[in-house]
Amino acid sequence: MKRSDELRQIVALSLATNVGAVTFKKLIEVFGDVASIFKATSKDLLKIKRLPKTLQSQLKSTDLVEKAEIEIAKAAKNNVEIVSILDARYPEELREIYDPPMLLYVKGVLPVKGTPAVAIVGSRNASLYGIRMAKNIAAGLSKAGVVVVSGMALGIDSAAHEGALSEVGATIAVLGGGLSRIYPPQNKKMAEKIAKKGAVISEYPMDMSPKPEYFPMRNRIISGLSRAVLIVEAGEKSGALITADSALEQGRDVFAVPGNADSERSNGTNALLKQGAKLVTSASDILEELRITGESQTQASPKFLTDKKTLNLNQDEQKLFSLLDSEPLPIDVLIEQSGLAPSRTISSLMGLQIKGVVKELPGKNFVRNP
């Protein structure tokens, strides 16, 4: 099956009623691939417990595929790439959680495999102390080549993104709605900056409005992308604590910045510290705990988006560069994995060679130029 056909079918499934991440995971486990799901009979589908009763009729309807084609075209028009869980570029850490999203809508470029990531989240109603700590720690992590992940909400999230953007590393913002409905609206310019130096992502269709119930689901992606989660400021009922819970369920480390004992904004973070979260006052605390030092730092930074910033790579070049490493890849594999037309792949590879970051080997194989 062509990659474009597979993507269209997965997008179609994501648009089906009551088909979410867990259901999709069950379907793939039973049928092996997405094409077989669409060919399944009623008898086959009945083997799966708690499957939506309307699924077979939806699979046999042309409406679902037509909606998927419209969604894919809408994403392309907005320079958004749709990366499915079956795609080699899908983040490995996220793929391993219990309920990984079947799709990621990506504005920007996902990090190269192996690049360490740490989530920083906290209160929307943040204090000056909390904002300062989030910015400083995010900047320190970014400088060390760590990707900073957050939710682009006001307060601590925004401060974390700003701190990361101030250094050479990159940042990822995970939204609780579609990428054409940036929320909060006052962070639209921030989203543009993040997409140039990282990625703004969502599991929701382009025009999906953000809803309160989507944000807890969004939080599992924030923690799922990360090796650890840092809570900077959080009240007793803060949504940031949901991210901490997700992190613990996913086997991630949880860190917390201590706050004033008499501050409501710090009740949640101080409670986490009592429960065993690791106390953090600087980026070096996290780097030491995760053993991101020396050689790890020097490897992490060049492999991510520092290169595209200094070399001014276009979107096609960024995509191909992120797929390449020290192991040679043949041109047909690059065409398949990038989803680019052969002519665009060839011209982009030529551009990368001219800029000195990619080298062609015999047999139309390509590697990064060390």
DSSP readout, 19-70?
--HHHHHHHHHHHSSHHHHHH--HHHHHTSTT--TTHHHHHH-HHHHHHHHH
Q: Are residues 251 and 317 in the same domain?
A: no
Instruction: With respect to residue 109, please indicate whether it lies within any of the assigned structural domains.
Output: no
pTM above 0.85, yes or no: no
- pLDDT > 90? residue 23: no
Contact 259, 126 (CB under 8 A): no
Structural tokens at position 146: 């760590």
Q: Are residues 32 and 58 in the same domain?
A: yes
Q: Are residues 70 and 192 in the same domain?
A: no
Q: Are residues 215 and 134 in the same domain?
A: yes
Q: Are residues 158 and 231 in the same domain?
A: yes
The predicted pLDDT at position 309 comes to 40
State which residues form the domain around 338.
Answer: 313-368
The predicted pLDDT at position 136 comes to 96
Dist CA 65 CA 59 (whole Å): 9
Could you read off the pLDDT of 26-42 as tens digits, one per residue?
A: 888 888 888 898 888 88
How confident is the prediction for the chain on average, in pLDDT? 87
Instruction: With respect to residue 241, please indicate whether it lies within any of the assigned structural domains.
Output: yes
- pLDDT > 70? residue 2: no
Question: What's 33's domain CATH number?
Answer: 1.10.150
Q: Are residues 155 and 268 in the same domain?
A: yes
- pLDDT > 50? residue 13: yes
Q: Are residues 233 and 162 in the same domain?
A: yes
Among 103-107, 109-113, 133-137, 293-297, the minimum mean pLDDT is found in 293-297
The predicted pLDDT at position 340 comes to 86
Range 82-105 average pLDDT: 93
Q: Are residues 292 and 251 in the same domain?
A: yes
Dist CA 20 CA 120 (whole Å): 26
Convert 45-79 to b/e letters by CB count within 10 Å (16 or more is b). Answer: beebeebbeebbebbeeeebbebbeebbebbeeee
- pLDDT > 60? residue 53: yes
Dist CA 44 CA 337 (whole Å): 31
Helix (H) or strand (E) holding 240: helix 240-249
Final residue before a domain boundary, out of 296, 323, 339? 296
- Band (121; pLDDT cuts 50, 70, 90): very high
Instruction: With respect to residue 237, please indicate whether it lies within any of the assigned structural domains.
Output: yes
Residue 367: CB atoms within 10 A of its CB come to 15
DSSP string over 309-353: HHHT--HHHHHHHHH--SS-EEHHHHHHHH---HHHHHHHHHHHH
Peptide bond between residue 184 and the one before it cis (omega within 30 degrees of 0)? yes
The predicted pLDDT at position 318 comes to 82
- pLDDT > 60? residue 302: no
What letter does residue 151 receive in the DSSP assignment?
A: -
Contact 72, 206 (CB under 8 A): no
Range 215-232 average pLDDT: 95
Instruction: With respect to residue 302, please indicate whether it lies within any of the assigned structural domains.
Output: no
Among 52-66, 244-258, 293-307, 321-335, the minimum mean pLDDT is found in 293-307
Residue of higher predicted confidence among 225 and 28: 225
The predicted pLDDT at position 154 comes to 95
* Residue 261, burial from CB neighbour count under 10 angstroms (0-12, 13-18, 19+): exposed
Instruction: With respect to residue 105, please indicate whether it lies within any of the assigned structural domains.
Output: no
- pLDDT > 60? residue 1: no
What's the domain count of the chain? 3
Range 290-306 average pLDDT: 50
Q: Count CA atoms within 13 Å of residue 10 on its CB side.
A: 26
Instruction: With respect to residue 107, please indicate whether it lies within any of the assigned structural domains.
Output: no
Question: What's 325's domain CATH number?
Answer: 1.10.10.10
Residue of higher predicted confidence among 357 and 182: 182
Q: Are residues 225 and 318 in the same domain?
A: no
Instruction: With respect to residue 111, please indicate whether it lies within any of the assigned structural domains.
Output: no
- pLDDT > 90? residue 247: yes
Q: Are residues 290 and 338 in the same domain?
A: no
- pLDDT > 90? residue 322: no
Range 232-252 average pLDDT: 90
* Residue 121, burial from CB neighbour count under 10 angstroms (0-12, 13-18, 19+): buried
Within 62-116, where are the H helices?
Answer: 62-77, 92-95
Q: Are residues 251 and 319 in the same domain?
A: no
Q: Are residues 292 and 332 in the same domain?
A: no
